[in-house]
Structure 1
Amino acid sequence: MSTEWAPSPTFSIPTDRLHISYFQVDNPKQSEFLVRLWNTEDFIKSCGNTGLDTPEKAAAFIKNRVQKDYLRNKHGQFLVSLKPHPDASLAESRPIGVVSLMKGEPPNAYSAPDIGYTILPEESGKGYATEASSGLLEYARRELGVKDVLGFCGHDDARSARVLQKIGLQFRGNRKLRVFGGAHSAVYAWPEMSQDLIVYGIDD
């Protein structure tokens, strides 16, 4: 693992309405926001209870998990912040969600990262998940050389499925994925990726 590179606190992937930035270990407001976001009813229903119910636990998670992903892949979980006006800086913007491009550690990992997102319930339905996901994927392809991307959601999660389709991923069927404990999941992938998903380590 390289220690020469570190996530900059001023880094941002700007989109029309959003800033996409790295989580920082020493930012208590970000830890507090993560607790708020991951303990909403919507998040727990779709993703389960993370157990991160205090800022201290969230800060430890950012340090021990999120930062580790950054150092290994230069991507992982990113903070999504809403601009108050089109030219607003990252510092002026307000956190509303998380967008992620995750790739696990071998041997229990797929060979391609997967895109994910969660937005505060009061900000959902406004296209922010689609905008953040598109912005992150464009950056990952252009700057990090990411060529293959997967997407997963519950087989009956129509809202998440629409986002995956809007950002250009193609439905590849429903599977009971072992990495998710056999949960019945819808699988999406870039259209140019192999039709045989076993190539990427995906099997039932």
Structure 2
Amino acid sequence: MPILETERLLLDEITTDDAAFIRELLNDPSWLQNIGDRGVRTLNDATAYIKSGPMKSYKRLGFGLYLIKLKESKAPIGVCGLLKREVLEDNDIGYALLPKYTGKGYALEAAAGVVAYAKNTLGLKRIVGFTIPANPSSIRVLEKLGMQYVGTMQLSANDEVCNLYALDL
């Protein structure tokens, strides 16, 4: 059973069986430009990333990033879910798709499903989202989710300044 299901998508926990897809996604130029280089170059790197990131988050928090699959074909197309970063008081929503799946409403559909899951299943009261100012498609997704712009922030001294959005659930 998936964690959540939307009209066209299934979202489920990422496992080490997804290492090849995660390696592909994390090395896509749009991921590198908009999210950053996670140093995942090999299947072993991807497996380590999955274990220390998503799988650790599921165990510790009960949520994390989820693999997005097309309902009809079960093909993986991206990730979407909730993260808890030490530098943020609130949980934040994150999403990324392989370029051939962008522009079809999948990011918004997955993110809206995650927002509903955060509210109805996890009982969260507020989530945030952030994106670099040079990523208008991500800004549109956050705004279509009903998030309001609250300012700018840097996740770390080495990161770009990001636009921060918030949504009270």
What interval of TM-score do these two structures reach, taking the shorter chain for normalisation?
over 0.9
C-alpha distance in structure 1 between counterparts of 2:52 and 2:136, whole Å: 33
C-alpha distance in structure 1 between counterparts of 2:142 and 2:157, whole Å: 18
2:84 counterpart of 1:96: no
Residues 46 and 72 (structure 1 numbering): CA distance in 2 closer, same or farther, change over 3 Å?
A: same
Residue identity (%): 34
Shift of 1:39: 0.9
Give the number of the structure whose residues are more often strand, by fraction: 2
Equivalence for 1:171: 149
C-alpha distance in structure 2 between counterparts of 1:143 and 1:75, whole Å: 10
- Normalising to structure 2: TM-score of the pair? 0.92
Equivalence for 1:59: 47
Equivalence for 1:20: 11
Cα-to-partner distance string for 1:116-135 (whole Å, 9 max, x where unaligned): 11001011000100000010
Amino acid at match of 1:31: A
3-state SS in 2 of match to 1:60: helix
Flag structure 1 segments of 5+ consecutive residues without an equivalent. 1-9, 85-91, 194-204
Equivalence for 2:164: 187
Shift of 1:180: 6.0
C-alpha distance in structure 2 between counterparts of 1:178 and 1:66, whole Å: 19
Equivalence for 2:127: 149
Shift of 1:111: 1.9
3-state SS in 2 of match to 1:189: strand
C-alpha distance in structure 1 between counterparts of 2:146 and 2:64, whole Å: 20
Equivalence for 1:162: 140
Residue in structure 2 matching 1:127, options 105, 126, 148: 105
Equivalence for 1:83: 71
Equivalence for 1:200: none
- What's the C-alpha RMSD, in Å, of the aligned pairs? 1.7
Which ranges of 4 or more aligned residues in structure 1 deviate by more than 6 Å?
A: none
Flag structure 2 segments of 5+ consecutive residues without an equivalent. none
3-state SS in 2 of match to 1:144: coil
3-state SS in 2 of match to 1:79: strand
CA contact (8 A) 2:2 2:10 kept: no
Cα-to-partner distance string for 1:115-165 (whole Å, 9 max, x where unaligned): 111001011000100000010110121111111100100123211100000
Shift of 1:109: 3.0
C-alpha distance in structure 2 between counterparts of 1:188 and 1:31, whole Å: 30
Amino acid at match of 1:43: W
Amino acid at match of 1:48: G
Structure ID, larger Rg: 1
2:20 counterpart of 1:39: no
